[in-house]
Chains A and B, each alone.
Chain A
Amino acid sequence: MKRAALPVTALAAALALAGCGSGQGAGEPELSVSATYMPQPVAADMAAGFLTVTNRGGEQDELTSVSSDIGRVTMHSTSGGTMAERTSFAVPAHGRLVFRSGGNHLMFEQLKQKPRQGQTVKLKLGFARSGPLTVEMPVRSATYNPSTGH
Chain B
Amino acid sequence: MLSPLAPRKKTLAAAALLAAAAFTLSACGSGDDSASSPVSVVSEEGGSDKAATVLDQPFAKPDLVLTDTHGKKYDLRAETKGHPTLVYFGYTHCPDVCPTTMSNIAVAMKALPKSEQDDLRVVFVTTDPGRDTPAELGTWLKSIDSRFTGLTGDFATIQAGARSLGISVEPTSKDKNGKTVSVHGTQVIAFSPKTNGGYVLYGEEATVDDWTKDLPKLVRGAKP
Contact = CB atoms under 8 A, between A and B. Distances in A.
Contact of A136 (B32, B42, B143): B32
Contacts of A47: 95
B212 to A, nearest CB: 11
A19 B26 CA distance: 10
Contact of A31 (B31, B93, B175): B31
B20 A146 contact: no
B19 A84 contact: no
Nearest to A47: B95
A148 B30 CA distance: 25
A144 to B, nearest CB: 9
Interface residues of B, number: 62
A14 B42 contact: no
Interface stretch (B63-71, B72-80, B101-109, B215-223): B101-109
B45 A34 contact: no
Contacts of B11: 147
B43 interface: yes
Contact of A46 (B42, B46, B93, B181): B93
B54 interface: no
Given A3-B46, A107-B95, A145-B208, A42 B103 contact: yes
Given A32-B29, A101-B100, A102-B204, A108 B95 contact: yes
Contacts of B186: 80-81
Contacts of A135: 31-32, 34
A145 to B, nearest CB: 5
Contact of B12 (A7, A39, A50): A7
Nearest to A45: B93
B96 to A, nearest CB: 4
Contact of B97 (A3, A101, A145): A101
Contacts of B95: 41, 43, 46-48, 105, 107-108
Contacts of A11: 16, 19-20, 23, 42
A14 B23 CA distance: 6
Contacts of A22: 28
Contacts of A41: 95, 99
A136 B42 CA distance: 22
Contact of B100 (A10, A107, A143): A143
Contacts of A26: none
Interface string B141-166: 00110000000000000000000000
Interface of A: 3-4, 6-7, 9-11, 13-15, 17-22, 31-37, 39, 41-43, 46-48, 50, 52, 54, 78, 80-85, 96, 98, 100-102, 105, 107-108, 125, 133-138, 142-143, 145-149
Interface of B: 11-13, 15-17, 19-24, 26-34, 36-46, 92-93, 95-97, 99-100, 102-104, 107, 140, 143-144, 168-170, 175, 177, 179, 181, 183-186, 204-205, 207-209
